[in-house]
């Protein structure tokens, strides 16, 4: 028990004077600091000049813009892939119905054929709008022109 108390008092005595977030324990050394250094107040152990912070913030902002642009492109691609899959499924079903001779088709099969044609038409229009939107988005956001090959 005595050993445990001895260790705990020894560890408490070795606590560093400066701790992040513990302002009441922070010892500010003002001797030997110039006027510019006294103006810098930071909660971190190491300080950065405001210009360095602004540069890093600008880099982060550019990176964020690139990531948002890429996310947008990937969403357009996912939507395009899903629309293509849906169109292909409907085309396959339509092809199966078209393979049946016209004289042997029931009224229900003929209606389904018309429905499929309408659905395919709507999906193709939706995909066209999606492609147009993707192109407008690509042209609207700066920084993409250099990554594309000239057409």
pLDDT for the residue numbered 18: 45
Most confident of 22-31, 78-87, 129-138: 78-87
Q: What is the pLDDT averaged over residues 114-118? A: 96
Give domain status of residue 99, yes or no.
yes
Domain residues for 136? Answer: 35-140
pLDDT for the residue numbered 19: 45
Give domain status of residue 3, yes or no.
no
Give domain status of residue 20, yes or no.
no
Give domain status of residue 6, yes or no.
no
pLDDT at 134 over 50: yes
| Count of domains forming the chain | 1
Give domain status of residue 92, yes or no.
yes
Residues 6+ apart with CB under 8 A from 21: 43
pLDDT at 98 over 90: yes
CB contact at 8 A, 116 and 93: yes
Identify the band that residue 26 occupies on the pLDDT scale cut at 50, 70 and 90: low
Burial 37-69 (b: 16+ CB within 10 A, else e): eeeeeeeeeeeeeeeeeeeeeeeeeeeeeeeeb
Model confidence pTM above 0.85: no
Give domain status of residue 27, yes or no.
no
| Entry field: residues in the chain | 151
């Amino acid at each position: 028990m005595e050993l445990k108390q001895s260790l705990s008092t020894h560890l408490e005595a070795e606590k560093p004077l400066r701790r992040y977030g513990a302002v009441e324990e922070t010892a500010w050394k003002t001797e030997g600091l110039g006027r510019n250094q006294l103006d810098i107040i930071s909660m971190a152990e190491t300080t950065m000049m405001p210009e360095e912070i602004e540069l890093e913030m600008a880099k982060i902002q550019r990176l964020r813009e690139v990531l948002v642009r890429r996310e947008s492109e990937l969403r357009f691609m996912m939507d395009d892939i899903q629309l293509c899959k849906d169109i292909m499924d409907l085309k396959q079903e339509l092809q199966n119905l078209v393979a049946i001779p016209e004289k042997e088709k029931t009224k229900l099969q003929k209606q389904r054929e018309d429905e499929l044609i309408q659905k395919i038409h709507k999906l193709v229009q939706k995909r066209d709008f999606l492609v147009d939107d993707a192109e407008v988005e690509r042209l609207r956001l700066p920084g993409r022109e250099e990554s594309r090959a000239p057409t």
